[in-house]
Amino acid sequence: MSDPRSSSPPAVFVIAPTDVAVQVRATDCPVLRFSTSAEFEQWSHQAWSRIAAAVYAALRELQIDPAQCSPRTQEVLAHLCGRERIPSVKEMFAACSSRRSFYRSWTEDVCETPAAFLTRVRLLHLRFTMERGVDSDAAQRGTSSDFRDMR
């Protein structure tokens, strides 16, 4: 299993008012700054279209053809792709009528636990978000090349 984190550097997310100086010492990773947690949430919700891409990329990494999965697993994957954010495993269960049936079909179709799969999807989603660039000017107050005090 390949590690989705291996091909891109980690990002630093800073949530602090603009009048607060923040110093980030890491020089090898992007720094995204948001003035409020609501601003960060808005930015992350704008990235929902990349969730489907992350789900399909995770399936490709695991060499899984979604068309070959059971209808129950396909339904869960479709629900996951349509979300505005990546859910917890508990939230993923909510899309299923039976937890036991969900685990049975998931285990037959996917070689990872639901928690591990969602972690993989989160990491790929973050990578796609970073590769595409930041949609908000507010998030671009600091960059990996500008790591001195940010105001």
Give the pLDDT confidence of 32-49 residue by residue, as tens digits.
888 888 887 777 666 556
* Interval 100-111: pLDDT, tens: 888 899 999 999
Q: Is residue 1 part of a domain?
A: no
* Interval 74-125: pLDDT, tens: 989 988 888 877 888 888 877 777 888 888 999 999 999 999 999 999 989 8
**Do 129 and 77 fall within a single domain?**
yes
pLDDT at 106: 93
Q: Mind giving me the DSSP string for 85-116?
A: SPPPHHHHHTTSS-HHHHHHHHHHH-SS-HHH
**Do 43 and 53 fall within a single domain?**
no
**Do 151 and 85 fall within a single domain?**
no
**Do 61 and 105 fall within a single domain?**
yes
Q: Is residue 73 part of a domain?
A: yes
For the full predicted model, state whether its pTM sits above 0.85: no
Q: Is residue 89 part of a domain?
A: yes
Q: Which domain holds residue 23?
A: 10-47+135-151
Q: Is residue 54 part of a domain?
A: yes
